[in-house]
Amino acid sequence: MAIEGHNALNNIEIIMKVLKFGGTSVGSVESLQNVKSIVESQAEPTIVVVSALGGVTNQLIEMTRMALDHNEAYASTLEQVRQRHLDIIERLIDADKQSQCRAVVEQFIENLRSFYQTLCINSDLDATFVKRVSDAIVCHGEIMSSAIVAALIAGATPHYSPSFIKTTDGPQGTVLAADLTRRLIQEQLGSLDERCMVLQGFIAQDADASYATTLGRGGSDFTAALVAAALHASCLEIWTDVDGFMTADPRTHPDATVIPTMTYAQAQAMCDAGAKVIYPPTLAPVAALDIPVWVKNTFNPTATGTVIRG
Ligand code: ADP
Ligand code: ASP
Ligand code: MG
């Protein structure tokens, strides 16, 4: 039975942690090999939250634009997306799981094809319908990447985030249904005795009407924080492509250095000022429970990284 902050595994109270891997971390064969070894070497049970393969969310959005412009060139981008996923499956997934994993990806590519066809061949579509279809499309990036990561990690089981990450539509747009989400995470994941659960970041579902929604661009960090907070995880690890939270964006400031320790307030201030390394809404749910957040580099896993705490 799950008890506050702990998951029961074989009748032993074991603390669980949440690891989130961003787009670059799941974007290539080499980085996915690192993801596999990072997760499989964890001593305690883990919940792994994944983004879409790096660049795929942008491609899905771009294809939506093309289809709405009645530009059939979306089909060649879709074929690139398909080939990229299938290539990773062929190179990384064990032979006994390959055909099932390939079939899953092919099915989602077919779903995408029919969504894009609908947008491409019809004119004067209702704006709400276009918004719903666009959101359903963009969710496919995380759905496909999570199928691959779940097949890649030994003993991992896939879970579907929209069954517990719920949103509502208010005057300001889509907002998280926070209490419902926390309760559903606890009900659906809190009592499972699983060594490693893999779920999609970013994607969600409307609490009343069940249509696809998202937590906003970069929202996978937020999904991971919501799960970590609801289950009182021992820590949240944000695995990305830099050695930690840095004094500035290293892409524009090559002299930036890693900040070893930060308070939630310091990190929040930098995120609010545009430090893309953590999506701004992420810190509040974990800070409220004093759950430490680590920022670590998938491409340099032995680097200490940054710890953010109270
Ligand atoms: P992910 O796909 O893993 O979510 P993001 O691209 O969202 O990764 O965030 C990581 C990027 O954030 C880094 O590659 C870096 O360019 C950028 N970044 C901006 N500000 C900072 C900062 N202060 N410290 C570290 N990285 C930063
Ligand atoms: N894939 C989504 C995006 O590119 C969410 C994320 O990566 O956090 O915005
Ligand atoms: Mg990010």
Q: Cβ neighbours of residue 180 under 8 Å, at least 6 residues apart?
A: 166, 207
pTM for the predicted model, two decimal places: 0.95
169 within ligand 1 shell (Cβ under 6 A): no
> Ligand 1: distance of its center to the CA of 295 in Å?
10
> What strand order describes the sheet that includes 293-297?
156-158, 196-200, 46-50, 17-21, 236-240, 293-297, 306-309, 261-263
What are the tens digits of pLDDT across the range 153-205?
999 999 999 999 999 998 889 999 999 999 999 999 998 999 999 999 999 99
CATH at residue 16: 3.40.1160.10
Residues with CB under 5 A from ligand 3 (ion): 22, 218
What are the tens digits of pLDDT across the range 211-256?
999 999 999 999 999 999 999 999 999 999 999 999 999 999 999 9
What are the tens digits of pLDDT across the range 92-134?
999 999 999 999 999 999 999 999 999 999 999 999 999 999 9
5, pLDDT greater than 80: no
Compute the distance between CA of residue 141 and CA of residue 53 in angstroms, rounded to an integer.
7
Structural domain boundaries enclosing 258: 2-308
DSSP state of 250: T
Rounded to an integer, the average pLDDT of 145-157 is: 98
The predicted pLDDT at position 32 comes to 98
Ligand 2 atom closest to the Cα of residue 202 is: 5
Place of tokens 């939630």: 264
9, pLDDT greater than 90: no
- Count up the domains in the chain and report the number: 1
Compute the distance between CA of residue 163 and CA of residue 177 in angstroms, rounded to an integer.
13
